Structure 1
Amino acid sequence: MLGYRKTTKRKPKATCKQVDSLCISEISLVNHFPKVGKINTGLCLNLRKLHWFDSADPDTFFPRCYRLAALDERHAFIDDYRRTACTSLLKYIVEKDQYVQGERISKKKQSKRQSSPVNISQTINKALKVCEDFLQSLEHSDIDTNLETQQTPAQEWAEFLDSYYLVVHGGAEIDSSDYLVIHCKAMLQRMKIVNPQLEIEGIHNIWIIKPGAKSRGRGIKCANRLDQILDLVKGDPKLIKENKWVVQKYLERPFLIHDTKFDVRQWFLVTDWNPLTVWFYKKCYLRFSTHSMHLCNNSIQKSLRPLLQRHGSIPVDNMWSVDQFKTFLCTKDRERALIYALQTAQDLIESRKNTFELYGADFMLDRDLHPWLLEINSSPTMAPSTPVTAHLCAAVQEDTLRVVLDRRVKRTANTGDFQLIYKKVRNSFPFVMLYFLSMCTTVRVEGFRVKCPYSLPPLKSSSCAVPKHRSPSKTRVPQQKK
């Protein structure tokens, strides 16, 4: 808590839950909002309600995400994984015959156990059928089909995934015809229209598994096999009970700098939730990976030695400032992604005056330099761990005080590198209805076809004409008979 009043007696540290909004004086400030977990751990669920606030599609800026502890979302993830395996196989077949990003896909070594190429024509046809059924479901062309006959048995899916693992993960030689390659290309073009994440998915079907309510990359793992992913979430009963296990599609084809992976830490400040008031920090920094790892957190990377073959322009401390990456100064896409995420949580977080909070959002770029929001962190680390953060973190904290203190006295006060990007009152859509809709993750309609519909009887002509409109003064009121 920030304030101007000096106290002589040291009091125990209070949490945001213990702060009573009625007891906050006009000269006091609290640096945390209550229920902030709704914006970080709840991001996966909140963005599914974005259509109530904006016409934007969350799949265009937020990788697909599921809560594995929720039974319906667990089934949805399994369906997504299987479908992604189908499109990944089709891409693998196509990429065997063409150049990708100017480089030929290297031919993997043949497994010693394989004496001849594997014929996977049946597997490819299965993948094509799954994609076709998915496209028809989006167009509602399957409304009259029997869902039970459309579902693939678990054993058949197991055999399909075994073939997929053998070819894509194991590098087995395949025997596919030009005819199938043409069909694979055509299907991928159709899937690209309905799946904006098709390009970043890659071919290995990698997913990142995150335990909720943990920081600095603790407990985060990557896996590319369905059985491995489902087994990883069985270890912590508490996280399973609280629905805090999240699995998110991994960006397999990000933009690289000197063949090195990185992510972007972007700060933003919320000074009110109603009206939602968001301040965007103009500067950010890049965090490079020392190894071929899925995490760029400095708390992890600082203990690792860089690879010998890494480009010499990548600094030893694995960070760049935004000035070292001028082409990333176009921030409009990042601003939109943050606003969308905050809009969907506006009704869930308690709005409390004299309160503010600083957040750290993590982004990655794809090969088209399009930013993808990975997560939003409350209480981001502000430690001066490198020369880049030593300068930036001090500036962010100073500019935060400019916004929350100086502007209370003078609205035109200098806010440093913080820029006001959004201020709007809460959406008028009833919160109760939003809550109800958020609980209804799936809608199922059941019915039956009318075999012999009865014809309606002919309309009888009425002798009573429709009365003309009369003025109230000339309208007669019939008297009741005694």
Structure 2
Amino acid sequence: MVQQFQIQDEVKTLHSTSPRHSCPLPALNPDRLRTAKAIVDKTVKLHKVFSIQGPYPTIRASLKARGWVEKRTWRPGHAKYMPPDRESYSIDADEKNHDQDTNGLYDLMSRLVRNEMVYFYWTNRRDAINTSILQKEQMINHFAKAGSFTTKVGLCMNLRSLHWFDSADPETFFPRCYKLGARDEKHAFIEDYRRTACMSFLKYIVEEAQNVEEERKNEHIQEAREPPTVSKMISTALRECQDFLESLEHADIDASLEKTPSLAKEGWGEFIDNFYLFVHDRAQIKIKKSLVTSCKAMLQRLAEVSPQLDTDGIHNIWIIKPGAKSRGRGIKCAKRLDQILSLVDRNPTLIKESKWVVQKYLERPFLVEGTKFDVRQWFLVTDWNPLTVWFYKKCYLRFSTQPYSLDTLDKSVHLCNNSIQKHLRPSHQRHPVIPDDNMWSDDQFMTFLSSRGQKAQWENVVVPGMKKAVRHALQTAQDLVDSRKNTFELYGADFMLGPDLHPWLIEINASPTMAPSTPITARLCAAVQEDMLRVVLDRRADRSADTGDFELIYQQAAVDVPQYVGVQLFIEGFRLKDTCLLPPLRPLKRSSSKYRITKKEVPKEKVKSLPKVVKRAISHVKNIPDKVPPELPVPVPIETFTGHWSLRIPLDSCSHSVLLWRKGLQKIVSQ
């Protein structure tokens, strides 16, 4: 009878606490409530209460299958979850997941754990929960301060310090990037743009000469007279490239003062304008073979020190990105220096906050039937000390809707983000092998490589290169991210492939979209979420548990973190007791090399005055003459004492050593 009254009270409590405007509770019966209470009591004891922000049906279903109970956060006026970013979720899938709860048992258990602690948080935003107030055993899917490498500005600046963590060069996997909001960064970009224009012009000369040679390979080629402007430009480009090579070898430090100075601002303006005329506008030129040979020789030397020389192309195109936006918003491509600077200078707020970055565009990517693509690759970080990185074995490709061309810089050609391309209609000129949903799985791409005899390069070049880039990017951010235990985070890295299939890291995204927008993402996104829970939950209980397609690629040795003691500094020490640092007042019975005593009489001329330090220390004793008379019995003559004079007066003026010393001095003076 008592239990029946308790069940009735519980039913009243649940109805009274049911949020207004939320889904009403189904008709309750004592048996269902008794079953729910039994399940809840067990899950609470096992610390299996979770909370999810947003409709992630795969994660929710996987946790429930593991015996977890969800503590839902009901919002007034919303019957279902309303995520802030609708693109990252599937509302229909979440509604189907709730419809499976036909008897309302899960809704009932969710209300029964309304006052219990949550032990697993999954949020769609890093700032949704203050991690500093979480208890040690609570898990969350975001690290604090991870924006140091998930923003375009953060990744750009962090990789500059890679040499402190590893011997790798970031320019071998990350295109050159600058933060235009900083004055020194802006100046460095302008210098890079000018230098790249010189290299691009040399490549243009060589390529044009090769094209002419192919067109007239059966004809006799006569030496042609080129316009004076071309010779001058080639000489300028060769000189600037030579200066660049000498700067890498630090030979410019000892350079002669008679060396020809670099171009002035006006000279660079003329060079850049002529560069646009020949390269961008395709003005006709004729070049001597001797100049072409010099250009080829210089390019061979540059290829040894410039890993991005091949992918840079000849148009000197750069991509401008707002540093804090995602899904391709605000990104533009430009190839004129004045256009790039004007795009940034228009918004003084972004300049002040250093939000703009400019990055060298890969003009010569690997194409699939003439269409550009990028690779979305997932990886998981489960700890930052020691740094522990899991790499997912599956990935997918995202294509643009238009064939690749440098004649236009429209985003439909050069940006592969699905959030942009899904609103565009695929071009009829695009190869039919590219699907209408603009996506391929990695298996489909490997089939394409096999048809070209390049399948082995996927395992030998692409995958190792992506792993290396991810590891180096995380190494540079290790000291900046909060290394809270029981925290994990899933990231999405975007790569482009060069003409040799070498991967280039473009950016790293926090909270990558898990929306099943295509059949490819519907399958892979569900699989990566399920495998992620295997790593962070199943492997905690059993180290031999299956981790799916997640592969552990890096686990650093643990680093001891010193205990934080606050801003107050203090020094700990102890008092020395019975310490006598002065020479003994009478001869020692045992011989010692340190205190060597002579029996010879001390001549008057060798008698020296006491050190000033001693006289100041004993000034409170009776007046002592400046020189000790030779007739006074001095146990240890000063000139025969081989040690060094030092005076250390302990804090305690009544110590035993000080008293003995004073008595000895008084006895000498009284005589």
TM-score, normalised by the number of residues in structure 1: 0.83
Provide, for residues 88-125 of structure 1, a one-character-per-residue CA deviation record: whole Å limited to 9, x for no partner.
0000000012269x9989xxxxxxxxxx9784111111
The CA deviation at 1:174 is: 1.1
Change over 3 Å in CA distance of 1:266–1:182 after alignment to 2: same
The CA deviation at 1:28 is: 2.6
Provide, for residues 282-331 of structure 1, a one-character-per-residue CA deviation record: whole Å limited to 9, x for no partner.
00001111114211011111111222121111111111001112233441
Alignment equivalent of 1:121, drawn from 220, 223, 231: 231
Report the Cα distance in structure 1 between the residues aligned to 2:380 and 2:328, rounded to whole angstroms. 22
Matched with 1:316 is: 436
User: SS where residue 90 of structure 1 aligns?
Assistant: helix
Change over 3 Å in CA distance of 1:475–1:239 after alignment to 2: farther
The CA deviation at 1:53 is: 1.1
Q: Which amino acid aligns with 1:182?
A: T
Report the Cα distance in structure 2 between the residues aligned to 1:104 and 1:373, rounded to whole angstroms. 38
Matched with 2:58 is: none
Matched with 2:556 is: 424
Matched with 1:44 is: 156
Give the number of the structure whose residues are more often strand, by fraction.
Answer: 1
- The reply to whether residue 377 of structure 1 matches residue 509 of structure 2 is yes
Q: Which amino acid aligns with 2:178?
A: Y
Q: Which amino acid aligns with 1:282?
A: K
Matched with 1:450 is: none
Report the Cα distance in structure 2 between the residues aligned to 1:148 and 1:232, rounded to whole angstroms. 37
Kindly report the root-mean-square deviation, in angstroms, between the aligned alpha carbons of the 2 structures.
Answer: 2.8
Matched with 1:295 is: 415
- The reply to whether residue 334 of structure 1 matches residue 466 of structure 2 is yes
Change over 3 Å in CA distance of 1:163–1:429 after alignment to 2: farther
Structure 1 or 2, whichever has the larger Rg, is 2
Change over 3 Å in CA distance of 1:367–1:333 after alignment to 2: same
Q: Which amino acid aligns with 2:210?
A: Q
- The reply to whether residue 218 of structure 1 matches residue 329 of structure 2 is yes
Matched with 2:388 is: 277
Report the Cα distance in structure 1 between the residues aligned to 2:437 and 2:352, rounded to whole angstroms. 39
Contact 2:365 2:372 in 1 (8 A): yes
The CA deviation at 1:422 is: 0.8
Change over 3 Å in CA distance of 1:380–1:230 after alignment to 2: same
Alignment equivalent of 1:406, drawn from 506, 514, 538: 538
The CA deviation at 1:281 is: 0.4
Q: Which amino acid aligns with 2:192?
A: D
Report the Cα distance in structure 2 between the residues aligned to 1:14 and 1:190, rounded to whole angstroms. 49
Provide, for residues 19-69 of structure 1, a one-character-per-residue CA deviation record: whole Å limited to 9, x for no partner.
454543455311111111101221111111111111111111111111011
Matched with 2:488 is: 356
Matched with 1:476 is: 594
Q: Which amino acid aligns with 2:359?
A: Q
User: SS where residue 381 of structure 2 aligns?
Assistant: strand
Matched with 1:67 is: 179
Matched with 1:32 is: 142
The CA deviation at 1:147 is: 11
Give the number of the structure whose residues are more often helix, by fraction.
Answer: 2
Q: Which amino acid aligns with 2:467?
A: E
Provide, for residues 312-360 of structure 1, a one-character-per-residue CA deviation record: whole Å limited to 9, x for no partner.
1111111100111223344111101100000000001111111111100
Contact 1:2 1:30 in 2 (8 A): no
Matched with 1:98 is: 210
Provide, for residues 244-297 of structure 1, a one-character-per-residue CA deviation record: whole Å limited to 9, x for no partner.
211111000011111111110000011111111111000000111111421101
TM-score, normalised by the number of residues in structure 2: 0.60
Change over 3 Å in CA distance of 1:203–1:103 after alignment to 2: farther
The CA deviation at 1:475 is: 3.9
Structure 1: runs of 5+ lacking an equivalent: 106-115, 431-472
User: SS where residue 391 of structure 1 aligns?
Assistant: helix
The CA deviation at 1:242 is: 2.0
Report the Cα distance in structure 2 between the residues aligned to 1:203 and 1:181, rounded to whole angstroms. 16
Provide, for residues 361-416 of structure 1, a one-character-per-residue CA deviation record: whole Å limited to 9, x for no partner.
00111111111111111111111111100100111111111111112222211111
User: SS where residue 365 of structure 2 aligns?
Assistant: coil
Matched with 1:109 is: none
Structure 2: runs of 5+ lacking an equivalent: 1-48, 52-67, 77-122, 217-225, 405-412, 447-454, 563-590, 597-635, 639-664, 666-671
Contact 1:118 1:174 in 2 (8 A): no
- The reply to whether residue 80 of structure 1 matches residue 192 of structure 2 is yes
User: SS where residue 250 of structure 2 aligns?
Assistant: coil
Report the Cα distance in structure 2 between the residues aligned to 1:148 and 1:354, rounded to whole angstroms. 61
User: SS where residue 174 of structure 1 aligns?
Assistant: coil
The CA deviation at 1:173 is: 0.6
User: SS where residue 75 of structure 1 aligns?
Assistant: helix
Matched with 1:233 is: 344
Change over 3 Å in CA distance of 1:76–1:7 after alignment to 2: same
The CA deviation at 1:197 is: 0.5
Q: Which moved more, 1:152-161 or 1:323-332?
A: 323-332
Between the two proteins, the alignment pairs up a number of residues equal to: 429
User: SS where residue 414 of structure 2 aligns?
Assistant: coil
Change over 3 Å in CA distance of 1:169–1:426 after alignment to 2: farther
Q: Which amino acid aligns with 2:330?
A: G
